[in-house]
Amino acid sequence: MLTKQQKWKQGFDSAQMIRGGIEGHFGAKLAEAYFYADGWNAMTLYENFPQYFQLAPVRSEAEEEAVNKEYFAKQLTKYIEEN
């Protein structure tokens, strides 16, 4: 069972994928609505349109932390190399 935070993150990641054009105009408008929605309405979209908002894989908290650390390390390395 997913936590509310995992559902929200999966919905957000899926909305970003949809906004990229993989689901057409209707999907893009739903993704836009998701970005503007408060928590309650975002979960309503997530639950009622699983074909759109459950596209992205669910990551565990450990995976999220590893991704964030890797991103930060790459950005720091890039900054140091440029300066």
Would the pTM count as exceeding 0.85? no
pLDDT tens sequence across 34-58 = 999 999 999 999 999 999 999 988 8
pLDDT tens sequence across 1-14 = 888 888 999 999 99
Based on the structure, what is the number of domains in the chain?
Answer: 1
Single out the residue of 10, 35, 31, 12 nearest to residue 22, CA to CA: 31
d(CA 76, CA 27): 36
Are the C-beta atoms of residues 16 and 51 closer than 8 Å to each other?
A: no
33 by Cβ neighbours in 10 Å (0-12 / 13-18 / 19+) ranks as middle
8 by Cβ neighbours in 10 Å (0-12 / 13-18 / 19+) ranks as middle
Residue 22 is part of which domain span? 4-82
